Amino acid sequence: MLTPCNRFFTRRTKISSAGNKPHVIVNAALTTGVDIGAKVNALVTACGGASCSIYIPAGMYNFKTPIVLASNIELYGAGKQHTILNYTALTPTVGGSTTIAYITTAITAGSSTTKVTIHDLQVNGTREIIGSPSSYNNTTAINLAGTYSVINRVKVGHFWAYGSPIGIGGSHNTLSNSDIEFGTFCVALTGEYQTVTKNFISNHYSSASAAEAPKVHYWDGIVAEGLSYSLIEGNTVEDNGQSGIYEGGNNSVSSHNTITGNLVRHNWNRGIDNGVTGNVTSANGLSVLTITHNHVIDNLEDNIWLVCVQGATVQGNQTEYTPNYPAFFGSHATSTRSGIVVTDTCGIAPQDISNNVIVMENTVADYQGTSVIGLNLAIKTKSIGHKFTGNSSNSRFYVGPSVTLTKNTIQK
């Protein structure tokens, strides 16, 4: 018996050699005058919930109609350099600034979806004029809000809205082997059991830094808030307008996440930024983190930062400040940065403390010989259980005067 997908596309169905899945082929003759979004949505509807693959051949396609994917849909192209989808929708702005209510998303898999796969294609927004707020398009590229879905070998660029270009929520989703560039927050993560691995992530702030003041559109490479039991591994995260990888309790709770094996460099705030904003509460906190084997180089402020974190292992990381640091940041360069910082300066409430952070077997280097601090433990008397041991540093180890050595283990 024919599936709904095959009933609708019998004459345009071919059998893949990989698992004999039905492939629905979007017409390769589509031109820039045809809205490919409406075409893809019609194919999704025709699949009727069945497992169905939609293949878009090599070429350049425009669309204004947002693509909405259903469960068990595979949307793919001939490769991220060959199948190029241009999302040409423009959304209203207020006074040249982004407004969340107006944001549209090019490709969405909603919260009720499962097992959606998007791979081997490129999605672009309309090209911005650097420093001209009205030209930033207030759109996002791909949003996965369901479960067990995958974005792989995709290139995404030029989407400028709060939380763009890639948003991943729900649970058990994966972003891998992709290039995510030119967006406000390049990757925004919530939910649990997410995996972000082997991606290149940059909003290329250095090319806009002279024009964007303040840096309205250029924020972090990866933003994780309300994220748990997730893995951020093997990514290159560089030249973002704020921190490279930000994991925070910004009115949210994040816990049991692992950040490992990433190259994080030349970001315009911190490298790996783990911090609570405001007072620590049961609804606002960060705990049980693993930060291992990352190479963190020449970020404007601190390379690895933990503020008001409850329980973390920071092990086997390499942080460096090289002679390229002042050349890259120019007049913005600062001598107050640190290789690894543990502090509890997030707020002023009694509960705003940091406990049980283990910093061990890290290599911290400053090749400039400036007043940079290698290891920095700046905590109040109430913070306990920190352990600094087995680290190698060629610059200062600062231990704040309020640190209670009987409650913390310090080996300089």
Written as one string, the DSSP assignment of 206-233 is GGTTTT-SS-SS---SEEEEEEES-EEE
Give per-residue pLDDT as tens, 153-192.
Answer: 999 999 998 778 999 999 999 999 999 999 999 999 999 9
Which pLDDT score is estimated for 13?
36
Of 164, 121, 115, 174, the closest CA to residue 141 belongs to 164
**Cα distance between residue 397 and residue 374, in whole Å:** 6
Written as one string, the DSSP assignment of 366-411 is ESS-SS-EEEEEE--TT----EEES-EESSEEEE-TT--TTTSEE-
Which pLDDT score is estimated for 91?
61
**Cα distance between residue 146 and residue 71, in whole Å:** 9
Contact indicator for 156, 165 with CB cutoff of 8 Å: yes
pLDDT at 17 over 80: no
pTM: 0.92
Contact indicator for 65, 88 with CB cutoff of 8 Å: no
Q: Which residue has the tokens 């994917």?
A: 69
How remote is the C-alpha of 61 from its chain's centroid?
A: 26
**Cα distance between residue 388 and residue 5, in whole Å:** 59
**Cα distance between residue 264 and residue 202, in whole Å:** 10
Mean pLDDT of 120-149: 93
Which pLDDT score is estimated for 7?
29
Most distant CA atoms of the chain, gap in Å: 77
Give per-residue pLDDT as tens, 36-69.
Answer: 999 999 999 999 888 999 999 999 999 999 999 9
Q: Is 45 helix (H, G, I), strand (E, B) or coil?
A: helix
Of the pLDDT bands very low, low, confident and very high (cuts 50, 70, 90), residue 291 is very high
Of 259, 237, 141, 257, the closest CA to residue 191 belongs to 257
For residue 128, the cross-strand partners are none
Of the pLDDT bands very low, low, confident and very high (cuts 50, 70, 90), residue 133 is confident
Contact indicator for 136, 158 with CB cutoff of 8 Å: no
Which pLDDT score is estimated for 18?
39
Per-chain mean pLDDT for the chain: 89
pLDDT at 11 over 70: no
Give per-residue pLDDT as tens, 98-113.
Answer: 455 577 899 999 999 9
Maximum mean pLDDT: which of 241-250, 343-352, 361-370: 241-250
Percentage, residues of the chain above pLDDT 90:
72
CATH of domain 1-209: 2.160.20
Of 297 and 345, the one with more pLDDT: 297
